[in-house]
Amino acid sequence: MSTKTNLTIKLEKDVRDEFGILCNQIGITMASALNAFIKQAIRQQEMSFSLRDSNGFLPEEADELKRRIAGMRVGRLEAHDLIEED
């Protein structure tokens, strides 16, 4: 018989609430979902989740886009020729 222990994590309330709703929709508790995620990560020696934001950008892509938008706002623009692919 394995010994159980507690794991305490801090989440923003809205994230916890949304996760609770998702777990309820699929019929498992939040503890069961986290347990399954942790056991799968150990078994596969990897964690499968996306780092993309809600717009589909990776953090470095979003940072580059923000940098370019900030430059555009202060008048730094670069003109590029349109490249059309057949």
The three-state DSSP-derived secondary structure of 7-66 is: CCCCCCHHHHHHHHHHHHHHCCCHHHHHHHHHHHHHHHCCCCCCCCCCCCCCHHHHHHHH
Whole-model pTM over 0.85? no
Confidence check: pLDDT of 78 > 70: yes
Q: Looking at residue 27, what is its pLDDT? A: 95
pLDDT in tens, 6-16: 999 999 999 99
Alpha carbons 7 and 46: distance in angstroms, whole number: 20
Rg of the chain over Cα atoms, rounded to whole angstroms, equals 21
Q: What is the mean pLDDT of residues 22-51?
A: 92
Q: Is pLDDT at 1 greater than 70 in this prediction?
A: no
d(CA 27, CA 43): 23
